[in-house]
């Protein structure tokens, strides 16, 4: 009987100790979440839509967790007030023109508040001061925009596919140019004729230079070019001096 009572007392003691441990742990976690063990000051901001922000979510400044969301309340049909508890050791860096935005921890993480930097010449934020807010972009709006973009890409891809199909089948001017060998041969022949015409023109110009009537004209032109070149060289020499 005494042995049974002794075992019962041990179990009871372990149960009570475990309960006290869980209680202290819960107090610690809640206190840390609510910054009960750190001196804090209060700030507020208002949003049209908080996008799933909850009490207890983190507040970040310069990428560091500096506080938590203390309370969220609806003021009217277009305004939601968010109360923030921020550690006092970052108060010297929070300016009155800082803005508050709603972000998230990763792509699918919890929501959080982000306090942006203010200007260096602004006054420090006071206890209970309301900071300006930046409205978040809703995920639904982003998805709707992506859906429209995807639809446009699909239409463009279909049109390009139709164009390539017509080209491959020799339809249209570009298709005939690529698929019809006769057009390519005519183009090559045209280039050959142009080269021959250019060569004939060069020969005619050379013959004209030796013509009695035009020889003096070409001589004067060559002499003028030579004088122009000489004057340019003399000018460069004088500039160097």
| pLDDT values of the chain reduced to their tens digit, one per residue, 241 residues | 566 676 667 777 777 778 887 877 776 666 565 555 568 889 999 998 888 888 889 999 988 889 999 899 999 988 999 999 999 889 899 999 999 998 888 666 788 999 999 888 889 999 989 999 888 765 555 666 677 777 778 788 887 877 777 767 766 666 666 666 666 676 677 777 777 666 656 655 665 555 555 556 556 666 767 766 666 665 555 555 5
SS3 content of the chain, % helix, strand, coil (to 5): 55, 20, 25
pLDDT given at position 237: 52
Q: Tokens for 70?
A: 């203390």
pTM of the predicted model, to two decimals? 0.48
How far is Cα 94 from Cα 103, in angstroms, rounded to an integer?
A: 18
pLDDT given at position 84: 92
Torsional class of 106: left (φ above 0), alpha (ψ -120 to 50), beta (otherwise): left
pLDDT given at position 74: 92
Largest CA distance in the chain: 147
How far is Cα 51 from Cα 116, in angstroms, rounded to an integer?
A: 19
How far is Cα 186 from Cα 179, in angstroms, rounded to an integer?
A: 13
Name the phi and psi angles at 54, rounded to 5.
Answer: -130, 160
Alpha-carbon distances, residue 24 vs 35, 52, 150, 228 (angstroms): 16, 30, 53, 100
DSSP 118: -
How far is Cα 73 from Cα 68, in angstroms, rounded to an integer?
A: 15
DSSP 98: -
First to last CA, the chain: 125
């Amino acid at each position: 009987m005494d042995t049974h009572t002794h075992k019962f007392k041990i179990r009871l003691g372990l149960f009570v100790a475990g309960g006290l441990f869980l209680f202290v742990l819960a107090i610690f976690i809640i206190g840390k979440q609510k910054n009960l063990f750190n001196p804090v000051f209060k700030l507020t901001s208002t949003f049209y839509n908080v996008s799933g922000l909850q009490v207890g979510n983190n507040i970040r400044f310069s990428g560091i967790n500096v506080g938590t969301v203390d309370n969220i309340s609806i003021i009217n049909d277009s305004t939601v007030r968010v109360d923030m508890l921020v550690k006092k050791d970052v108060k010297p860096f929070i300016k009155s023109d800082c803005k508050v935005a709603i972000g998230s921890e990763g792509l699918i993480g919890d929501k959080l508040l982000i306090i942006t930097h203010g200007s260096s010449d602004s006054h420090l934020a006071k206890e209970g001061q309301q900071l300006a807010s930046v409205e978040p972009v809703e995920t639904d709006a982003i998805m709707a925009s992506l859906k429209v973009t995807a639809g446009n890409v699909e239409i463009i891809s279909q049109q390009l596919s139709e164009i390539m199909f017509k080209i491959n089948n020799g339809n249209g001017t570009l298709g005939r140019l690529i698929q019809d060998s006769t057009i390519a041969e005519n183009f090559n022949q045209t280039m050959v004729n142009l080269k021959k015409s250019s060569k004939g023109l060069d020969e005619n110009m050379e013959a004209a230079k030796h013509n009695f009537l035009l020889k003096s004209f070409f001589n004067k032109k060559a002499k003028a070019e030579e004088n122009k070149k000489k004057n340019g060289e003399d000018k460069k020499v004088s500039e160097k001096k």
